């Protein structure tokens, strides 16, 4: 089997602006047909990165290849990439058919060919027969699909998406997540999606790159990024977590014993060889790994068990949570399991919290 | 509507109604009445279209009329061709202070009166003027050259006088064009010309049309620039109207000319709107 080059490959891509470095030596590969997300807070450089891939900005250093061909110096209208803009950028002076056919017209495709290809792609995104409508006659979700159709009709090697779901309301956004993923699978095109919304990235992606201050903190599958974050930033940014500041008191193999700021003791397992006694750390504990049990029902030898009082119940349907205050006054968010057993918890109840030593992440405190 | 609010509505409406009726409609009715009275003897008049017949019967009149129309259309087209890149540059390629400064620089010439501005051009273009001297100094011409008193000088003056009225509506409409639309055009493989033709110009159309209407009307009704820069050969229709009213004291023919000018400008604007597929309310409302 021959090794074909990845659809998109970046090597040490860097972009300097007058006063700061927006993208700092970023390298990654996106294999053909995969959904790659770049997740990061606003201002982390993800938009600059995407605009470099599209060709609207020139990298200060590094190489960018699409299907093995370097794109440095290639203008945006000559690159085999298409972009779905944040606000979609559908041309309001044209009807839907002309919008979708715009790229084909630029390539000099014959009129009848354009018509059949536009009809076909609109069919595939589930909008048959809208060619004569005006842009403002479509709903938000329909515009979204037209914007994707306008790009896909050109059969690009890579489709770039710049937070296109940001402007939609919550319900539609949830729906479009699923739809985008299935469209990507149907077209089997490589998607590069940037977002600050972790749930969009987690639901849709094959691979996620978590970006912060111009660099990639971690590249991995949604599962890896969520369950085994490489850095404190990733652990804090992706998903919800209780962040506990604690000092390592002893290390025994891979097991650490820690004392929290409020005086509690923790025990957890780590693969980070650099953590040793005396070190300040941050422990990230996801609300759903903490178990609520009845007082007195914990086995004698159990670790990471602490007594607490339910301080508040935050009802949010399937994502309901409680905050528990332990003896030392530390707060902890705990997800309520949805199996019916814990629906009776009320404010002021005494409970025990317990979690497994392998389910927390621990990182050395960042040096200031 | 209650009686008091109805009263308020009419009171607010009164100034504009007064303005329209007293200053626009009444004078035009008067003008029309004068234009259809033929002088048969001292202080005796007959109603008829003799003055209009005189216009069509005398080639100088209708040729001047046609020449004024064609030159005005040409001036409008030239102003558009010159003004569009300026407006595009101001609206799309500059930001913040530079934008304001450039916009102000377009305005500065309009702080002095049209008369002074036109004299400025005369200083530049006359036989003993700046341009003529520079050309002689450079050895490009052997003797003084007269650059005034020809159609080109009129054209230069007309374009210069009216370019602001083209740039302002164009900047406004181009400003409202989302940059991402232009980027999307490039991203989808469009060349610069294709993007200009398919995205920028359709978007700027209301601005183009309203700018053109204003510039055309200003050129057609301009009196100073053609007379001063074109000299006595300028043959501008407003000059002809002036002659009838002031020199010849023939108010009847002058009124007929005035009415014909009104019909001409309305007709050209109407045709322009029809050709560009715009409506007057849409164009003027948006710009």
pLDDT score of A1 = 39
Cα B198 from chain centroid? 27
Q: Which residues of A touch B181 (CB under 8 A)?
A: 89, 91
What is the percent of chain B with per-residue pLDDT over 70, rounded to a whole number? Answer: 97
Is B188 touching A (CB cutoff 8 A)? yes
Give the pLDDT mean for A311-339.
Answer: 85
Q: Would you state the structure tokens that stand for residue A277, as one six-digit string?
A: 């006694």
B231-246 pLDDT per residue, tens: 877 889 998 899 889 9
Neighbouring-strand partners of residue A211:
A216
- Among residues A187, A184, A185, A181, the alpha carbon closest in space to that of A153 is found at A187
Query: What is the edge-to-edge ordering of all strands in the sheet holding A35-39?
Result: A81-84, A158-162, A190-195, A35-39, A207-212, A215-220
Q: Which residue has the higher pLDDT, A169 or A234?
A: A234
Give the pLDDT mean for B180-197.
Answer: 92
Residues 6+ apart with CB under 8 A from A13: A23, A25, A26, A27, A49, A52, A59, A61, A62, A63, A64
Q: Which residues of A touch B193 (CB under 8 A)?
A: none
Mean pLDDT of chain A: 88
Interface of A to B at Cβ within 8 Å reads: 54-56, 75-78, 81-83, 85-87, 89, 91-94, 102-103, 105-107, 150-151, 154
Region of residue A25 (left: phi > 0; alpha: psi -120 to 50; beta: else): left
A306-319 pLDDT per residue, tens: 888 888 888 888 88
Is the confidence at residue B103, as pLDDT, over 70? yes
Q: Residue-wise over A311-321: b if at least 16 C-beta within 10 A, else e?
A: eeeeeeeeebb
- Contact (CB<8Å) A56/B183: yes
Q: Would you state the structure tokens that stand for residue A41, as one six-digit string?
A: 């807070």
A33-90 pLDDT per residue, tens: 899 999 999 888 899 999 999 999 999 999 999 988 899 989 998 999 999 998 889 9
What is the domain class of A240-364 according to CATH?
Answer: mainly beta
The CATH architecture to which B61-286 belongs is Orthogonal Bundle (1.10)
Structural domain spans, chain B: 61-286
Residues 6+ apart with CB under 8 A from A321: A287, A313, A314, A333, A334, A335, A336
Q: Which residues of B touch A102 (CB under 8 A)?
A: 185, 188, 190, 198
SS3 annotation, chain B: CCHHHHHHHHHHHHHHHHHHHHHHHHHHHHHHHHHCEEEEECCEEEECCHHHHHHHHCHHHHHHHHHHHHHHHHHHHHHHHHHHHHHHHHHHHCCHHHHHHHHHHHHHHHHCCHHHHHHHHHHHHCCCCHHHHHHHHCCCCCCCCCCCCCHHHHHHHHHHHHHHHHHHHHHHHHHCCCHHHHHHHHHCCCCHHHHHHHHHHHHHHHHHHHHHHHHHHHHHCCCHHHHHHHHHHCCCHHHHHHHHHHHCCCHHHHHHHHHHHHHHHHHHHHHHHHHHCCCHHHHHHHC
pLDDT score of A3 = 63
CA distance B254 to A223: 88
pLDDT score of A101 = 93
CA distance A71 to A33: 20
Is the confidence at residue B286, as pLDDT, over 80? no
Mutate to test the interface with A, among B178, B189, B196 (most CBs of A within 10 A): B189
Cα–Cα distances (Å) from B68 to A267, B59, B151, B237, in that order, read 94, 14, 11, 6
Q: Residue-wise over A18-41: b if at least 16 C-beta within 10 A, else e?
A: eeebbbbebebbbeeebbbbbbbe
CA distance B129 to B120: 10
B199-240 pLDDT per residue, tens: 999 999 989 999 999 999 999 999 989 999 988 778 899 988
A344-354 pLDDT per residue, tens: 778 888 888 88
Is B197 touching A (CB cutoff 8 A)? no
Tell me which of 3.40.50.300, 3.30.70.600, 3.40.50.2030, 3.30.1330.50 is the CATH number of domain A8-236: 3.40.50.300
Is B201 touching A (CB cutoff 8 A)? no
Residue B160 CA neighbour count, 13 Å, CB half: 22
Taking the C-alpha atoms of B257, B262, B267 and B270 in order, what is their torsion angle to the nearest 10 degrees? Answer: 170
CA distance B68 to B76: 12
Distance of residue A91 Cα from the nearest chain B Cα, in angstroms: 7
Mean pLDDT of chain B: 88
- Among residues A221, A188, A229, the alpha carbon closest in space to that of A204 is found at A221
pLDDT score of B287 = 45
Give me the interface pTM, i.e. the ipTM: 0.81
- Contact (CB<8Å) A77/B187: yes
SS3 annotation, chain A: CCCCCCCEEEEEEEEECCCCEEEEEEEEEECCCCEEEEECCCCCCHHHHHHHHHCCCCCCEEEEEECCEECCCCCHHHCCEEEEECCECCCCCCEHHHHHHHHHHHCCCCHHHHHHHHHHHHHHCCCCCCCCCEHHHCCHHHHHHHHHHHHHCCCCCEEEEECCCCCCCHHHHHHHHHHHHHHHHHHCCEEEEEECCHHHHHHHCCEEEEEECCEEEEEECHHHHHHCCCCHHHHHHCCCCEEEEEEEEEEECCEEEEEECCCCEEEEECCCCCCCCCCEEEEEECHHHCEEECCCCCCCCCCCEEEEEEEEEECCHHHCEEEEEECCCCEEEEECCCCCCCCCCCCCCEEEEECCHHHEEEEECCCC
Mutate to test the interface with B, among A48, A106, A149 (most CBs of B within 10 A): A106
Confidence of residue A341 (pLDDT cuts 50, 70, 90): low
Is B66 touching A (CB cutoff 8 A)? no
Q: CA-nearest residue of chain A to B178? A: A89
B53-89 pLDDT per residue, tens: 888 998 999 999 999 999 999 999 999 999 999 999 9
CA distance A12 to A335: 40
Q: Would you state the structure tokens that stand for residue B219, as one six-digit string?
A: 């050129």
CA distance A243 to A360: 10
Is B144 touching A (CB cutoff 8 A)? no
Mutate to test the interface with A, among B178, B188, B202, B207 (most CBs of A within 10 A): B188
Q: Are B67 and B151 within 8 A, CB to CB? A: no
Structural domain spans, chain A: 8-236, 240-364
pLDDT score of A239 = 86
Nearest neighbour of B188 by CB, restricted to A56, A92, A103: A103
- Among residues A92, A168, A173, A104, the alpha carbon closest in space to that of A136 is found at A92
Q: Are B255 and B178 within 8 A, CB to CB? A: no
């Amino acid at each position: 089997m021959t090794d074909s080059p990845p659809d998109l490959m970046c090597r040490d891509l860097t972009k300097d602006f007058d006063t700061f470095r927006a993208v700092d030596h970023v390298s990654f590969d996106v294999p053909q047909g995969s959904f790659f997300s770049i997740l990061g807070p606003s201002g982390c450089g993800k938009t600059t990165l995407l605009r470099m891939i599209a060709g609207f900005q020139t990298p200060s250093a590094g190489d960018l290849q699409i299907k093995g061909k370097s794109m440095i110096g290639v203008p945006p209208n000559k690159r085999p990439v298409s972009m779905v803009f944040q606000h979609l950028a559908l041309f309001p002076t044209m009807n839907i058919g002309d919008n979708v056919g715009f790229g084909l017209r630029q390539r000099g495709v014959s009129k009848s060919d354009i018509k059949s290809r536009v009809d076909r792609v609109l069919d595939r995104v589930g909008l048959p027969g809208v060619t004569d409508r005006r842009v403002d006659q479509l709903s938000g979700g329909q515009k979204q699909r037209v914007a994707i159709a306008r790009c896909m009709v050109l059969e690009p090697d890579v489709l770039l998406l710049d937070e296109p779901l940001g402007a939609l309301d919550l319900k539609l956004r949830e729906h479009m997540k699923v739809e985008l993923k299935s469209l990507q699978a149907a077209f089997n095109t490589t998607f590069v999606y940037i977002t600050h919304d972790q749930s969009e990235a987690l639901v849709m992606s094959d691979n996620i790159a978590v970006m912060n201050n111009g660099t990639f903190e971690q590249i991995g599958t949604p599962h890896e990024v969520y369950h085994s974050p490489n850095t404190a930033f990733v652990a804090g940014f992706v998903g919800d977590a209780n962040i506990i500041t604690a000092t390592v008191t002893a290390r025994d193999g891979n097991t650490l014993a820690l004392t929290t700021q409020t005086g509690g003791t923790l025990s957890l397992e780590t693969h980070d060889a650099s953590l040793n006694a005396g070190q300040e750390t941050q422990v990230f504990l996801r609300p759903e790994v903490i178990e609520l049990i009845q007082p007195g029902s914990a086995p004698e030898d159990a670790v990471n068990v602490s007594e607490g009082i339910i301080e508040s119940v935050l009802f949010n349907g399937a994502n309901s949570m409680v905050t528990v205050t332990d003896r030392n006054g530390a707060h902890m968010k705990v997800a309520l399991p949805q199996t019916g057993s814990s629906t009776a918890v009320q404010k002021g109840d005494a409970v025990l919290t317990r979690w497994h030593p392998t389910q927390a992440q621990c990182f050395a405190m960042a040096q200031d | 509507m209650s009686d008091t609010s109805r009263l308020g509505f009419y009171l607010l409406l009164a100034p504009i109604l007064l303005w329209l009726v007293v200053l626009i409609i009444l004078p035009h009715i008067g003008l029309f009445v004068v234009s259809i009275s033929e002088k048969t003897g001292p202080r005796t008049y007959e109603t008829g279209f003799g003055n209009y017949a005189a216009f069509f019967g005398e080639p100088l009149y209708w040729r001047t009329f046609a020449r004024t129309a064609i030159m005005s259309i040409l001036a409008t087209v030239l102003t558009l061709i010159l003004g569009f890149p300026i407006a595009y540059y101001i609206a799309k390629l500059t930001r913040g202070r530079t934008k304001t400064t450039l916009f102000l620089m377009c305005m500065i010439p309009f702080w002095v009166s049209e008369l002074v501005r036109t004299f400025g051009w005369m200083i530049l273009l006359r036989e003993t003027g700046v341009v003529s001297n520079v050309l002689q100094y450079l050895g490009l011409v052997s003797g003084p050259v007269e650059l005034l008193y020809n159609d080109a000088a009129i054209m230069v003056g007309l374009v210069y006088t009216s370019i602001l009225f083209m740039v302002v509506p164009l900047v406004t409409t181009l400003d409202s064009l989302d940059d991402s639309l232009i980027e999307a055009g490039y991203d989808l493989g469009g060349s610069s010309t294709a993007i200009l033709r398919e995205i920028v110009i359709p978007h700027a159309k209301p601005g183009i049309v309203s700018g053109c209407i204003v510039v055309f009307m200003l050129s057609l009704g301009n009196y100073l620039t053609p007379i001063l820069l074109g000299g006595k050969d300028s043959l501008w229709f407003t000059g002809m109207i002036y002659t009838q009213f002031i020199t010849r004291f023939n108010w009847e023919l002058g009124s007929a000319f005035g009415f014909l000018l009104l019909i001409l400008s309305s007709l050209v604007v109407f045709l322009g709107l029809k050709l560009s597929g715009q409506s007057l309310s849409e164009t003027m409302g948006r710009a």
